[in-house]
Structure 1
Amino acid sequence: MATNAEPNKPIFRPGSAVEISSDEPGFQGSFYLGTVISLCSSDSYLVEYKTLVTESSRPLREEVGLFQVRPPPPSPSPGARWIFGMGDEVDVYHNDGWWEAVVTADLGNGRFEVFFRSYKEQMEFSKENMRLHRDWIGGGWVPHVEEEHEQVEKSQTEMEINGSKETVQEKFVKGELVEVSSDEDGFEGAWFSATIVEPTGTDKFLVEYQSLRTEDDKDFLTEDIDILHIRPCPAETLVVGFRLLEEVDCLYNDGWWVGVVSKVLGDSRYIVYFKDTKEEMEFHHFQMRLHHEWIDGKWVVASEV
């Protein structure tokens, strides 16, 4: 059930991947990938940056205003790649963040010159470090995702099978935000937020987790994952409240775990029952989302499966 919240004030749950803007001198027009840690007030969040660190090399955390936070822009559709032309507004990945710029020259071999209007500087970038520029306005992306087809071209990869060529569309692209599941004991049914780093085989990708860290806690964990254990991130869906016996995902131990609402406590709190472990736990509304299944390339509400 949709809320009546203002469309330009999305509610991000803890664990949501977001992009955070900065108004500090020298950083205007840049966005940095991060994760929502908690809601501090009605108009601010505590966030943890993915690429910015403290002097002790720990991920930087800070409280930011609601207006500084937006969802990560959508990646090209599976099998598609952005193409860029003179005068196109783009974002380029530079100094650990995405910066607004304009394409001023196509240098060939997938390289472009771009101009930063705010700082009157021109630099050279590879297309792998560029994306179509969008603005988050009124709770939606401008240009709209459906308008993107005019600015992308289909990309196909060929592989040799028994001496003949078979054409296969790429399923995920570099930098795409996804969720990854695990078959390890004690982790069945959990999904963890991650970013596609690169393909490592026909049906495998190297991913970097958004919340799981290495044993020395210096970096985010990276891992080769089979495509059967990767899915897109579900769209943010605002709900007023969850009903008794409704299937939900709950944010726990850095992942999303499927459960069933067994009791509505009031004050936006719920008791959730986990079938696999036969346990009940209490969660706040912002630690929960409606459960969906990724079936045949689309999201389906659990009750419709």
Structure 2
Amino acid sequence: MPPKSTPKSKPNQNPHFKPGSKVEIMSEEEGFRGSFYTGTVVKATRTSKFIVEYDKLFEDEEGTKPLQETVNEFQIRPIAPREKKREFKFSEEVDAFHNDGWWEGVITEVNEDGNFAVFFRSTKEQIEFGEEDLRLHREWVNGAWKPTLEGEEEEEVKEKENEGSRNKRKLVEEEVTKEVKRRVNKKVPDTTQEKPIESPKDAKFSKGMLVEVSSDEDGFKGAWFAATIVEPVGKDKYLIEYQTLRTEDDSDFLREEIDTVHIRPHPPQTIIIDRFKKLEEVDALYNDAWWVGVVSKVNTFPKYSVFFKDSNEELEFQHSDLRPHQDWINGKWVTPSKALKL
């Protein structure tokens, strides 16, 4: 605890968030968590917080008084850049404008009429959008947008790159290759294709089948726990047994009845990564579950720093505790877009 004589702190002077700056504000309310709404910075406080005013959210039903809130700095960012025109592709991560806000999703269908089906992991919904309501998903990292606008990032990387860094990277890759060869003694199938791994859309879960189960409980949203199907208990519902969670008296593994919305097959083991890259989307094994995150820093092999957007945390993991992220959408395993590569 600081002494009573500690001088008062000055208001936050982040140059990106001066009073009057247009920003996007992340909501933390139940059902809206992770969505961004446009607004304006009204004032910076002395506690690293900001007073913001929303553009399209109001305090009154008539829509005459814009809503003002006090938010943390991690909840705001500048207005995300956007290409004037872009051809979106299957499996690309995008932001979709829906209910006055921008929501992160992944393109699951490119329709002939020019519209796109977008799947939202947070709500497990799929909604159709026109090109005008989509933008490539970007992250605000250390005061810069990643990826940058198309056509800019290659020049930026070339200017900063030098022969010494290339040699260092080569040495790291060689060490990774040696480590993988020590661990894997059999031939690994080619996994360079970008197409999703097909599976029957209406596949039923059978007794003894290895699956993963998600939860809607606070603090566990987005986590997937390994489990086994015990038996069906009704339409679209199964009794499952967790592989890592135990009963309160620790006498046996925990069993629960779960609906099919929260069950998916165990991800295929055909993708083996020698080395993860910065900004690559991964699943990290933490507290007996797999959590979706983004590699924020490549540390000395075999360690990586992973950032979790939902909790605004950054943790370090071993290579063996990470796997490439995949989504189970409409009976298919879909790999994430490569758009976030540096």
TM tier, smaller: 0.3 to 0.5
Report which of the two has the higher share of strand: 1
TM-score, normalization by structure 1: 0.46
TM-score, normalization by structure 2: 0.41
